[in-house]
Amino acid sequence: MHLSHPKTPTAHASHLEFHKLRTLPSRSFIYSYATLSALTATLLVVLILGLLAYQSGSAIFEANDSLLGSVWSPAKNQYGILPMLYGSLIVMVLAMGLALPIGILTALYISETRSETVRRLSKTMLEILAGIPSIVYGLIGVAFLSLWVADIFYLQTGRVILTASLLLAIMILPTIITLTEDAFSNVATPYRENAYALGLYRFEVIKEVILPQAKGDVIGAAFLALGRALGETMAVMLVIGSLDRIPTPAYNILSSAQTITSKLGREIAESAFGSTHFNVLVLMSLILVVITLSLTGLAHILFKSAGSND
């Protein structure tokens, strides 16, 4: 009968040292790969911003004061971008105003009242909805939503600001629900247990415990959804109406309008490369990129601060 000798402390230490040496190259490779990926992504962002700034720089001098106007007429060398900025702002604000309350309430319902099975099934369905191409949403908006808006408000056409806002709210709703539900679910269980032990009702637990703890993550989720709403092109382009002017009065959401993304989608291929028309469109895309990056960065800062507070 063969008896194995127990390992001495020296042999055990040698084994651990060998294991460390064997895993060291793989860890070093992963760290190097992650660092290279981060530097590449940063370089690409800087390169994109630099190219857009370089291409659009001449537009500021060529278009003169017309950039701050409300008239868009390339034939007359008038390139007022205010209607597009207004259209992007009003559609974004309305879409967020519609989607954010519904998204937060739905996320609370899923997180605080449903079982884990229902939660997982709901998350799966929401991720599927978020993955549907925007052109599909746009076609649905043209075929159904715009007709409903026209019938309800007795309009000649339903391709107006309200239709674009409703469609955009539907598109960003899965993103808001998914992220905010994660924020509510990540609240530590002891907080809930202590609140219920003190005799608080479910509504009071949600109001006094869940919402304050998840506030930073919820705001970050709202900014991420805002960034997506701002960059949406095809769906909005199909239902906004493409009218290059600010409605009269300005709060008339039953009027056609134009956003930055819809303007780029319609005219970027029709403008001559290097022309003032093309450069002004590039300038609008630069404004869009800067706003989107700012919102995304702010969302990450809020997520990080909320995580550190936990």
> What tens digit of pLDDT does each residue of 226-235 get?
888 887 888 8
Total tally of structural domains belonging to the chain: 1
Q: Is the pTM of this model over 0.85?
A: no
Q: Give the tens place of pLDDT for each residue, 153-176.
A: 999 999 999 999 999 999 999 999
Q: Is residue 246 part of a domain?
A: yes
Q: Is residue 168 part of a domain?
A: yes
132 lies in a domain? yes
Q: Kindly tell me if the per-residue pLDDT of 7 is higher than 70.
A: no
In which region does residue 71 sit, left (phi positive, over 0), alpha (psi from -120 to 50) or beta (all else)? beta
- The pLDDT value given to residue 18: 46
Number of H helices and number of E strands within the chain? 12, 2
Give yes or no for residue 68 having a pLDDT over 70. Answer: yes
DSSP 132: S
Nearest of 56, 27, 24, 11 to residue 275 by alpha carbon: 56
The H or E element spanning position 7 is none
Q: Return the percent helix, strand and coil in the chain, to nearest 5.
A: 80, 0, 20
pLDDT at 4: 47
Percent of all residues in the chain with a pLDDT value above 70, rounded to a whole number = 90
Is 20 a domain residue?
A: no
Mean residue pLDDT across the chain: 85
* d(C-alpha 256, C-alpha 244), whole Å: 9
Tell me the β-bridge partners of 73.
78
- The confidence score (pLDDT) of residue 295 equals 81
- Residue 252 covered by a domain: yes
pLDDT average, residue stretch 210-229: 86
The model's pLDDT over 173-190, given as tens digits with 9 standing for 90+, comes to 999 999 999 989 888 888
For residue 281, the enclosing domain spans: 63-309
Sequence-distant (6+) residues with CB within 8 A of 200 are 208, 209
**Residue 26 forms part of a structural domain:** no
* CATH value at residue 246: 1.10.3720.10
Share of the chain above pLDDT 90, in %: 36
Say whether pLDDT at 10 is over 60: no
Average pLDDT over residues 30-34: 84
Does a structural domain hold residue 138? yes
Tell whether the model's pLDDT for residue 264 goes beyond 80. Answer: yes
pLDDT reported for residue 307:
60
Q: How confident is the model at residue 302 (pLDDT cuts 50, 70, 90)?
A: confident
82-86 average pLDDT score = 93
**5 pLDDT band (50/70/90 cuts)?**
very low
In a domain, 82, yes or no: yes
Residue 195 has pLDDT above 50, yes or no: yes
